[in-house]
Structure 1
Amino acid sequence: VNAKFPIRAQKFPAVFAVNINWFMSWPEAALVAVSSAFLGSYKIDCTDDDRQKLYSLTGAFQATVRDITEVYFARMRKHVYVTPKSFLCLIDFYKQLYQIKYEEINVQERSVNVGLQKLKEASEFVEKLKVQLKEQEVVLKAEEKKTTALLDKVMVEKSKADKKAEVVNGQKADCQAEADSINAEKAEAQVELDKALPFLHDAESACNSITKKDIVEIKANRKPLDIIKLTFDGLQILMCKKVVDVAPEERSINKVNATFLKDSYEDYSSKEVQDMNFLQGILDFAANEKDSINDETCELLGPYLRFDEDPAKHWGPFSHPVLDPSLAGKASGAAAGLCKFVGAMVQYHGAAKIVKPK
């Protein structure tokens, strides 16, 4: 014995105190039985025949590995031990791997099923669309015929409209020319109207110059002068009110006696003056009824207003107009205003009638 052997035995006691397990290797049938015991209650998605094949396959794996270890020992002179624990680990690993792969396959299966369902639905939808398309083709052809007919009709109507547009454009040009002519006439009429308006303003001013005091004075005058009476006659004629029948009568104006017309003061004018709205009635006439004055009215007022400085052309009985505001003013302020009013309204009519025919 080597002298170093005791020393090494003291240093490495485990080498000299080893228990050797003399159990024999499990036969393959025992391995299959163990596999069926551990996998029998495990849920596997397969038939019974496939399950039996699985039990046999696991046992065969363990036996094959054991045989390979013997070959390895014969070649490499090294022991590799395959124990029952290794077989149980193989079974547990199979369970874990099976669960993982089973879930992966389920996910893939669901994805494939969803895809197949979508493809089926798409196919059915396409078939429906084909049917609808055929139906729509029939409708489309009918609508196309209608559209073509309508288009032809529109073209015909457009041709008519174009012709009518030419006529309308011609009428438009005529209307524009007529409008231009009317505007020109309107401008001319406005010029004439502007000439007539001052007379209307004079009439309104003359009427506004009459005060209530002047009217009261006339009402109180029991024997008004002839010029006052004739002034009211002129107002009666202007406003188309009643007067007495025409008859000659001696009149005295500005201390000059002459034969003139009989007045209507006592019969009609004196009653008009008593009306409280006398002045307002005259203003309303100037505002609203001025255009009712006609040539006949002005002709009837001719003897009261006409005057010509040439004695050969003047046929009146006095050397002045009968309704002279300056002479009437000496008798009454109201008479002066009324004289101006009557004369201005007659002048307004003369200027305004130039405008009316246009």
Structure 2
Amino acid sequence: MASDLPAVAAFTDSFLPTVNGVTYTVSTWRDRWHARGGEMPIVYPRSTHVPENGEYPVSSLPFPFYDGYRIAVPRAPASVRNVDVVHAHTPFGLGVAAWRLAEKCDVPLVATYHTPTAEYAEYVGPDAVTGFVRDASERWERWFLDRADLVLTPSDRTRDHVRDLGVATRIESLQNGVDTEWFRPTDGDDFRARHDLPDGPLVGYTGRHGYEKRLSDLLAAAEGIDATLVFGGDGPAREELEREAAERDVDARFLGFLDRDELPAFYSVLDAFAFPSPVETEGLVALEANACGTPVAGVNAGALSETIVDGETGYHYEPGDVDGFRTAIRRTLDESDRLSENCLASRDDVSVERAIDDLEEHYRSLW
């Protein structure tokens, strides 16, 4: 298929089989770019994922402090050379390879700021070194992002955060987008039966069970609410969360990792999605839930401050306010029909097709 779309080389330190917001965005953007006739080869750390056409793994080692993340040799495969734009989805590892390739080929470098890496410093070592790691991460991010011709952020709030880091290059917000053809309301009865979920209201979360997500706040807020909590996903905090749920005598079901095929039914069976994480740069799962007609009760921090439209697609609460979280969940449940209609009305605004339209405009603005 002939196309005048620029050829784009995407570099990421996080890719399949790990499933998270970055891998979802990179793979979805690639698929949509290809559907429009463009080229977007992906360079990623070698793992158990079997590469498909246009995917180029490089040698890597597991990162001991963060499950699912790998440290790659910062190099660009020889097959990835003849491109018009280099797009880095990481400031580390393969982000360095992306910068080198852009310099060598004299083409623009675009960087998407997906993750505030300083917030994950606690995974690297004891408290005594956390501050050092956080400061070092922010200094490196600032240095790297200043070498890009364009920095993209998934939300306005994240754009402001990057500016606060002192990054002087051009910064634009671009929502990563949701595959609204896939994430749409569906009958959740089979999902409920398959996972033996009880009748009555369901409040859920899916994603990484990391300490930075503050999922224990959800367990605390659930006390006194007549609903079953449903957790999809996995992560280092899961065992502790299961123990806490038992101690609090909260009806919580931990389903483990859910295949992508199950997610539309998961979101659709919920009466409310609960999202206490204050470190999101977009909160993609909240948008996926909305696309399935499920409103969100979430913290008024990070990107969730704008991802959730208070009183329209869900309700906010202030960070650390467990009583406020409980109130937000109750209001979301009580007004779920109205909120759900608003969520469905906003599907086009959050679609990945609109994101790709905007992405193309950003690429073309570099010439």
* Structure of greater relative contact order (alpha carbons < 8 Å, 6+ residues apart): 1
Give the TM-score of the pair, scaled to structure 1: 0.17
- Structure with the higher strand share, 1 or 2: 2
Bigger CA radius of gyration: 1
Give the TM-score of the pair, scaled to structure 2: 0.17
- Structure with the higher helix share, 1 or 2: 1
